[in-house]
């Protein structure tokens, strides 16, 4: 059976939600991370479109892959940036051909609906949405009844539009559990409690090498930062030793060079002298 046949489909993920299974999901940025996630049996991966290549798809193995779509950064009409459903549809078709299984899209509702109408499996984003952070600030969303109700109305609208799943970020656990039990969508919980169908973390947080403070909701299972710092120290030391060897003539030594016999070198010199 080919790898492509082994990979789960949207129907499989939905069926696992219905069975009450809890799935694991990681945001990865390198082929090494994708391959390690696949070897560990991680269920879903999130990969930004800019990082999603055939090599990444191959490394992801049997993982169900969400490709993160972003608005265009160039392409204007009358000097204004043009953000349309066509842009997102074109990108989705491109990454479907590579092997994307579903697509994260935090664009307008109209764009999300247009993609659903074209049978693209869409993952929306509700709660703390970093691309719209100016509206809420860096805080939990839904701790008040009014905010929770606003999200509930938004989620019902997304479900009616045909969204396959929703990334729910930093939302109270009881609210997440209610949402997951009362809509058909699959919920990717990023700091939103155990009530979600999928538990979602960034690989950099799990491995402990993030450049920023570990988020409250994350758990570091290893301290890669200390190991990376140690390796970088070794890298600097090795480079310094190389520079010193070059300066002293210790490198390259005879074993690093190609030899020529005395006889052949003598012939070479004789040939040079005859010119």
The angle at the Cα of 154, spanning 152 to 158, to the nearest 5 degrees, equals: 115
Q: What are phi and psi of 77, to 5 degrees?
A: -125, 120
Active site residue 110: no
Q: Choosing from 169, 177, 241, 273, which is the catalytic residue?
A: 169
- Helices 145-161, 173-182: axis angle to 10 degrees equals 30
- Give the β-pairing of 165-169 and 122-127: parallel
Distance between CA 115 and CA 184 in Å, rounded? 18
CA dihedral 81→85→87→93, nearest 10 degrees, is 170
- 3-state DSSP call for residue 180? helix
Active site amino acids: 169
């Amino acid at each position: 059976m080919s790898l492509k046949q082994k990979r789960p489909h949207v129907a499989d993920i939905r069926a696992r939600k219905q069975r009450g299974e809890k799935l694991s999901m990681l945001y990865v940025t390198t082929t090494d991370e994708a391959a390690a996630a696949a070897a560990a049996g991680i269920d879903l991966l999130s990969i930004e479109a800019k990082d999603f290549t055939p090599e990444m798809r191959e490394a992801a193995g049997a993982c169900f892959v969400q490709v993160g779509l972003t608005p265009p950064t160039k392409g204007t009409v009358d000097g204004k940036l043009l953000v349309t459903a066509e842009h997102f549809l074109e990108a989705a078709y491109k990454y479907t051909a590579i092997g994307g299984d579903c697509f994260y899209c935090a664009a307008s509702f109209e764009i999300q609906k247009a993609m659903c109408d074209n049978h693209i499996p869409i993952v929306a984003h509700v709660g703390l949405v970093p691309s719209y952070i100016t509206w809420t600030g860096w805080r939990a969303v839904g701790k008040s009844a009014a905010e929770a109700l606003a999200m509930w109305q938004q989620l019902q609208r997304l479900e009616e539009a045909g969204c396959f799943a929703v990334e729910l970020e930093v939302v109270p656990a009881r609210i997440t559990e209610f949402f997951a039990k009362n809509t058909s969508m699959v919920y990717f919980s990023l700091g939103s409690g155990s009530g979600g169908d999928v538990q979602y973390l960034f690989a950099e947080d799990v491995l402990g090498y993030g450049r920023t403070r570990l988020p409250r909701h994350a758990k570091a299972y290893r301290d890669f930062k200390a190991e990376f710092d140690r390796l970088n120290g070794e890298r600097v030391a090795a480079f310094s030793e190389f520079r010193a060897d070059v300066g002293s003539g210790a490198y390259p030594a005879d074993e690093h060079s190609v030899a020529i016999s005395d006889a052949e070198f003598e012939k070479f010199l004789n040939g040079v002298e005859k010119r």
